[in-house]
Amino acid sequence: MQLSIPEFDTISSLAAQNNIWRRFRRHPGAVFGALLLTLLIAAILLAPLSPYNPEASSPAEAYQAPSLAHPMGTDALGRDQLTRLLYGGRVSMTVGLMVVIITVCIGVTVGALAGYFGGALDNILMRITDAALTLPTYLVLILLASILRELSTSFFKENNLLTIALVIGLLSWMTSARLTRALFLTLRDQTYVQAARSLGASNRRIILTHILPNSLGPLIVEATLELGYAIIEESGLSFLGFGIQPPTPSWGNLLSNAQAHFTDHPWLAIFPGLLIFITIISVNYIGDGLRDAYDPHKVLEQVGEVF
């Protein structure tokens, strides 16, 4: 029985996905990171089940040490720290995902145009990218956050998450742009691209249908790692007082609020820092696993796999 071209492509795609999943499973750190991150996300999503209100104060219960009633203690206003950490995780994760979307949209667009068309457009876009890379990240982040926060537009004041995501995303797209450009420079001269061009396919169709799908592996890895960077930057901004503002909890501002009480009430700083650490290390392990899974030549040396 002969297969049609669409059926053959479908079977080949499924086989490739199975190979990627098999290689990913052979990376113990990636599997452990995925399980850990899944558990953390599940706990964050189930935060409304907590019996405590994350913003309701109870001064009589202030600065209670970890106990059965409050597994991670309480803060200066008697609020349950575990509940606030779970809600803060929602904020930090949401900002991270929004930053990844902004970064990928800008970076992939710039890199694809530069890598595919080359010439003067490539020079202009890459010089803009190089200029953006020279900016002192945290100083510009603080400046932009301060400017947007002081604007009279209610849109930015009422959507603090979007404001912080825009600030971080506008300074984080350059790596994705350079990676995408390198991928497009490599793939644009491949035989299948030349065949599509000779058959009259438009530049848009070639970019979206032929080159971009074959670039997804490295781009997925980059997006995964960017999520970790975004969470770190959001936490850093909030720690410095220019990120998510109280009473809305985020891991960064919870850590910032705890710095004055670290000696007497160390749990206020330990648990936010621990969750940030767990999230970042999990994302990094997942990124390492995806990188190995999408790089079969590297795996061949480790497991003796053959094509």
Supply the CATH number for residue 189's domain.
Answer: 1.10.3720.10
**CB-CB contact of 258 with 268 (8 Å):** yes
Q: What is the mean pLDDT of the chain?
A: 80
CA distance 296 to 166: 35
**What is the distance between the alpha carbons of residues 13 and 20, in angstroms, rounded to a whole number?**
11
Cα-Cα-Cα-Cα torsion 84, 50, 60, 254, nearest 10 degrees, comes to -10
Listed residue (303, 292, 272) closest to 33, CA to CA: 292
Residue 302 forms part of a structural domain: no
Query: Does residue 272 have a cis peptide bond before it, meaning omega lies within 30 degrees of 0?
Result: no
Residue at 2 is within a domain: no
Highest mean pLDDT out of 105-119, 183-197, 238-252: 105-119
> What confidence tens digit (pLDDT) does each residue in 113-129 have?
999 998 899 999 999 99
Only one residue has tokens 């970064």, namely: 103
Q: Average pLDDT in the 246-257 region? A: 81
Average pLDDT score over residue span 229-235: 83
Q: Is there a domain that residue 58 lies in?
A: no
> What is the pLDDT, as a whole number, of residue 152?
57
Tokens of 258: 């705890």
Nearest Cα residue to 174 out of 207, 214, 126: 126
Is residue 113 in a domain?
A: yes
Share of the chain above pLDDT 90, in %: 16
Domain that holds residue 225: 28-44+80-295
Q: Which helix (H) or strand (E) holds 150?
A: helix 137-150
Per-residue confidence band for 295, with pLDDT thresholds at 50, 70 and 90:
low
Q: Is the pLDDT of residue 302 over 80?
A: no
Average pLDDT rounded to a whole number, residues 151-163: 62
Q: What is the mean pLDDT of residues 181-201?
A: 87
**Number of domains within the chain:** 1
Determine contact, residues 132/229, Cβ cutoff 8 Å: no
CB 190 within 8 A of CB 210: no
State the Cα angle at 41 between 36 and 42, rounded to 5°. Answer: 95
Does residue 64 belong to any structural domain of this protein?
Answer: no
* 149 is a domain residue: yes
SS3 296: helix
DSSP 199-239: TT--HHHIIIIIIGGGGHHHHHHHHHHHHHHHHHHHHHHHH
Of residues 156 and 271, the one with the higher pLDDT is 271
CB 108 within 8 Å of CB 100? no
Q: Roughly how many angstroms between the first and final C-alpha of the chain, as a whole number?
A: 24
22 found inside a domain: no
pTM above 0.85, yes or no: no
Question: For residue 303, is it within any domain?
Answer: no
Please answer whether residues 223 and 108 qualify as being in contact, where contact means their C-beta atoms are separated by less than 8 angstroms.
no
